[in-house]
Amino acid sequence: MDLIKLAEQTYVEKKDLPSFKAGDTVTVYYKIIEGTKERIQQYQGVVLQRRGVGASQTFTVRKISNGVGVERIFPLMSPKIEKIVVDKIGVVRRARIFYLRGIFGKKARIEEKKA
């Protein structure tokens, strides 16, 4: 067995995270430490991609803030992630939806999967 995989299994804590993919709208509850104070900040947006395997897996979330697109990359197994909530399940046909960067307004809407 790989030494890296062995170290991941022993030292990285397993989290109960929901299954989500590119196109889904998620809210990430992220711990922010400012000096001695600690608070939880919500970051809601559309998942552009998931990449990596195991403890090094990351996902990119894009949101529009004051008319400007803002993207943030989160490590999936980060201890600073409190929880992830899937708000909407989007219907997309790609694993990486970077085409959202070039469109705006009503064109940038993603169809929601009906449950």
Task: Tell me the C-alpha distance between 64 and 38, whole Å.
Answer: 25
Quickly count helices (H) and strands (E) in the chain: 1, 5
pTM for the whole structure: 0.86
Tokens representing residue 1 in the block: 């067995």
What digits encode the pLDDT tens for the residues 8-58?
778 777 788 899 999 999 999 999 999 999 999 999 999 999 999 888 899
What digits encode the pLDDT tens for the residues 85-103?
999 999 999 999 999 999 9
Structural domains of the chain ordered from first start: 22-104 (2.30.30.790)
For residue 10, count other CB atoms closer than 10 A to its CB: 7
Q: What is the pLDDT of residue 1?
A: 62
Instruction: Return the DSSP state at 90.
Output: B
Tokens representing residue 113 in the block: 């999967």
